[in-house]
Structure 1
Amino acid sequence: MDKRYIAKRYQGREKSQLAASADQAAEMDDLINFTIGDPDVITDERIIEGAFNDAKRGYTRYTESVGMKELREEISKYFHEEYNHKVGLDEVMVTTSACQGMWLVLESLLDEGDEVIIPSPYFPPYSDQVKLAGGVPVYMTLKEEEDYQLDVGKLERLITERTKALIINTPNNPIGSCLSRDTLVRIGEVAKKHDILIIADDIYTIYSYQAPFVPTMTLPGLSERTITLGSFSKDYAMTGWRIGYIIAKPDFIQVMKAVNENNVYSAPSISQRAAIHALRLRSEIQPGLVEEFRKRTFYAYERLNRLKGVHVMEPKGTFYLFPNIRGTGLSSAQVAEKLLKEAHVAVVPGNAFGPGGEGYLRLAVTLGVDRMKEAFDRMEGMDIFK
C-alpha cells in the first residue's frame, strides 16, 4: 500500500527493540532466551478446568462492557481482604489486559499536548501509548546509585501547567526495583500539591521480595488521585488469557466504558471466568509462583555478579534483572549482540527502555535454573567477561 494512505502518526515507526530481540532469538535452535517476560509456567490446571467448564455452561457471550459483576465483586473483595481497602463495584472496569487498560486510561485522560511524566528506564509501551493518545512523554531518569528511588525534588521540577499524570510501576519492569512506602508517600504529596494524577501500573504485586507490596491507592489521601492498573498475567501465570482491570473513580470509569465500547466492547467472557477462579484460588496458587521465581531471580543475580565488568543490584521484585555492563567498555547493544552471536544467549539491550537504560541489559528469568546455568556457563567463557 502507498505510504500516503498510512496515518502520519504511524509512518516511519520502527519495530520495538523488544520485538526485534524476540525475532532474532527465533532464528537459533540452541538459543537460550532471556528476552520475553512471559512465565514458562502453565496456568494452574484448576483455573483452566474451571474456565473450560464455565464455557460449556454457556459463558461464551458478551458480558457487561465494564466486566462481569461477579468478577468485579471478586476484585473488590480481594482489595478488602488483602489491603483492607474498600473498592466499589462502580470503581472497577475489566479490560483485555493491563496493557490495553493503560491505552484506555491515556486515551480517556489526555488532551493534545498534555504531559505525562514517565520514570525511566520504563516499560516501552508507556511512551508510545502516551504519544498515540496525543500526549507528550516527559522522562525522569532513575539512578542505580539512588537505589532507583524516585527523587521527588526532580519530579517537582518537571511538572508544568500541562502535566496531567505520573506513571509509576513498582515492582518495576525492567529494573527489578521497588519504590519504598516512604517514596510513594512523598510522590503522593507532590501529586496533591500540583493536582496531578498517579497512574499505578501494579502488575508484579506478589513478586515483592524485601517488603510487602503496598498499592499506591491505599495510602492516605491517594485513593481519589490514583488510577490503578491490575493484571492476571504475571501474578497468576495467565499471560495468554489477556485479562486485567482498572480501578478509578466512577465518573472516569464511565468515560473509559464509553471509549472501550468503540474498541473491544468487553473483555473475553472465558478469560473473565478464569480470573474469577484465579482470585478465589490465589492463596493456593501464588506462594508456589513466588518461591519459584525468587529462586530463579537470586540464582541469576549471583551468576551475573561473577562476570567481569558486570554488576547487578540485589533483586527487590519481579523476575527481571537489569545488570550494569559498563565495566565491559561496550554499549548495551554491542554486549547484547556479542551474547547472541557468540553464546547464543538473547537479552534485551538497556537502551530499549528509554533514557537511563544505556549501559545495562534486561534479563527475564522466565526459564528454569538448569537452562540458566547453561546460559551463564556460556557467558563465562566469553572474552568480554574474563
Structure 2
Amino acid sequence: MASASASTPSFDRFKPAARVAGQKQDVWTIVNEAATASPVQPIVNMGQGFFGYNPPKYVTDAAKAALDRVDCNQYSPTRGRPRLKKAIADAYSPFFGKTLNPETEVTITTGANEGMLSAFMGFLEQDDEVILFEPFFDQYISNIQMAGATIRYAPLQPPDHGSIRTSSAADWTIDMAALEKLINPRTKMIVLNTPHNPVGKVFSKSELQAIGDLCVKHGIIILSDEVYDRLYYVPFTRIATISPQIAAQTLTVGSAGKNFYATGWRVGWLIGPENLIKYVAAAHTRICFSSVSPLQEAAAVGFEKADEEGFWEQSKNEMQGKMKRFCEVFDELGLPYSDPEGGYFVLANLSKVNLPEDYDFPPHVAERPRDFKLSWFLIMELGVAAIPPTEFYTEENMHLAENYLRFAVCKEDDVLEKAKERLRGLRKFM
C-alpha cells in the first residue's frame, strides 16, 4: 500500500500565481458586500458604472431578431462579424479623416477590456515597460502584468484648490517633463484614457499632441482607451487624428456597451493600422477566439441607425443633464467636485465630512485609505454606494485621492433624486 505522504500531493502544487495571490480584496467586492449588508435599504447604487436603463429599442429589437437567425447563434469570425466591422468603419471614418478598411483596420473583441488585454498580449513581453496615467482603470494593471511587463506611473496632478472649490476636470494636469523621464529603451507602450475614468478629464489637443510627439520620438505604441468617446461636453480630439505619424502608432479602443447602454453585452473593438491590428487580432484569437454573435449584429444595427435616430446628441445631452442634476446636491452642501468634461463619473471631494472617531469600521476597511472609510460610511449610514478612487492609484500616490469618492450618474432620474435626498444627510457630519 502506498504511504499517505506518497499519495497526498504537496500543497505547493496548488500555490496560486503571484499576480492573484497577493491581491487585497477588490473594491467592487467590498462595496457590493457592504451594500448588501447595509441597514439602509434599498441601496442607491452610484458605484459601479452600469446603466440604470435599457439600450434604445431598435438596438434591443435587433438583438432579439438576431437570436432567431441560425448564423447569429454560431461562431463569428475571430476578427468580428463583417456587418459590425463595416458599421464601425463607416461610423468612424469621418472622425479619422479617411476611409477605414473594415477588414484590416478594425477588429472586434469581447468587450473593450478583453480588447486591451489582446493588445497587451499582442505586443508586450517580459521586461517591456508600459506607462499608465494615475488614476487608472484597475483592470489595466492585471492585464499588463499577465503579459509579463512592468508598469511606470505618471500621476495626473489634481488642482491645489480641489478641496476648497469646484473646478474643471481639465485642472488635473500632466507634468510632461516627468512623463518623458519615465521613458527608457524598454518602454513599449503608453495607455491613454480620454474621456477619463474616474476624473472626467478630456485630454486637450495640445496635451495629446505633446504625448503623441513623445511616442513618435521614442517609438512607443499608444493604446488609447476611448470607450466614453460619445460622451463629451467640451471639444474632444482623438489622438490618432492629430498626425499620420501618431496614427501609425495608435490603437484606439471602443465599446458598444458604453455607446449603447449595454455594459453586459461585452462587445468592443480596436481601430488602428493593419500592422498593429493584426497582432491584436492574433492574441484575441488565442484568448477567446470570437465574440458574442447576436450582440455583434445588434451593435451593428445600433451604429447603422444612430445618426438617423439622433441618438449620439441625445445621449450626450441626457448624460450631461444627469451630471448637472446630480451635482446640485454637492453645490447645496458646499462640497467641491471635479466638474467632468466627459464620461458619466464625477469625483466629489469629501474632506469636509467628519467621520466619527469611534466609528466601527471592519478591519479590511480600517486598514485602507480614508476614501474607503468614506465609502463604507455612506453605504451604512445613508444607503448610497460610491467607489473609493484610491483603488485606481499606487500606494505612493493614494494621498492624491483619499478625500474623493466616485459617483456614477448613468442612472434613472428618480434614482439620482433619491441619492441627492440621502446625501443631504451628510450635513450633520460637516
The alignment's TM-score, normalised by the length of structure 1, stands at 0.93
Gaps of 5+ in 1: none
Per the alignment, residue 322 of structure 2 pairs with 296
Per the alignment, residue 98 of structure 2 pairs with 85
* Alpha carbons of structure 1 residues 287 and 190: separation in structure 2 relative to 1, 3 Å: same
Q: CA RMSD in A?
A: 2.0
Query: What residue identity is the alignment partner of 2:82?
Result: K
- Mapping 1:164-183, distance limit 5 Å: 164-183=188-207
- Find the aligned partners of 1:159 and 1:306 in 2 and give their Cα distance: 44
* Alpha carbons of structure 1 residues 155 and 329: separation in structure 2 relative to 1, 3 Å: farther
**Aligned-residue offset at 1:149:** 3.2
User: Which of 30, 37, 43 is the matching residue for 1:31?
Assistant: 43
Is 1:119–2:129 an aligned residue pair?
no
Per the alignment, residue 422 of structure 2 pairs with 378
Please give the secondary structure, in 1, of the residue aligned with 2:107.
strand
Is 1:69–2:82 an aligned residue pair?
yes
Structure 1 residues 45-80: Cα deviation after superposition (integer angstroms, max 9, x where no partner)? 111212322332322111211112222111111112
**Aligned-residue offset at 1:257:** 2.7
Gaps of 5+ in 2: 1-8, 160-169, 356-369
User: Which of 247, 251, 255 is the matching residue for 1:223?
Assistant: 247
Contact 2:95 2:241 (C-alpha < 8 Å) held by counterparts: no
Please give the secondary structure, in 2, of the residue aligned with 1:328.
coil
Per the alignment, residue 350 of structure 1 pairs with 389
Please give the secondary structure, in 1, of the residue aligned with 2:209.
helix
- Larger displacement relative to structure 2 (294-303 or 368-377): 368-377
Is 1:149–2:179 an aligned residue pair?
no
Structure 1 residues 160-200: Cα deviation after superposition (integer angstroms, max 9, x where no partner)? 22111111111111111111111111111111112111110
- Find the aligned partners of 2:31 and 2:202 in 1 and give their Cα distance: 26
- Find the aligned partners of 1:314 and 1:383 in 2 and give their Cα distance: 21
Is 1:325–2:350 an aligned residue pair?
yes
Query: What residue identity is the alignment partner of 1:186?
Result: A
- Larger displacement relative to structure 2 (364-373 or 28-37): 364-373
Please give the secondary structure, in 2, of the residue aligned with 1:117.
strand
- Mapping 1:191-202, distance limit 5 Å: 191-202=215-226
User: Which of 221, 242, 256 is the matching residue for 2:280?
Assistant: 256
Is 1:16–2:26 an aligned residue pair?
yes
Give percent identity, aligned residues only: 27
Contact 1:169 1:200 (C-alpha < 8 Å) held by counterparts: yes
Per the alignment, residue 5 of structure 2 pairs with none
User: Which of 333, 343, 362 is the matching residue for 2:406?
Assistant: 362
Please give the secondary structure, in 2, of the residue aligned with 1:48.
helix
Per the alignment, residue 55 of structure 1 pairs with 67
Please give the secondary structure, in 2, of the residue aligned with 1:153.
helix
Q: How many residues in Structure 1 have an aligned counterpart in Structure 2? A: 384
- Find the aligned partners of 2:151 and 2:24 in 1 and give their Cα distance: 18
Contact 2:115 2:284 (C-alpha < 8 Å) held by counterparts: no
Is 1:214–2:237 an aligned residue pair?
yes
Structure number with bigger Rg: 2
The alignment's TM-score, normalised by the length of structure 2, stands at 0.84
Per the alignment, residue 242 of structure 1 pairs with 266
Please give the secondary structure, in 2, of the residue aligned with 1:167.
strand
Query: What residue identity is the alignment partner of 2:337?
Result: V
Per the alignment, residue 336 of structure 1 pairs with 375
- Find the aligned partners of 2:302 and 2:199 in 1 and give their Cα distance: 27
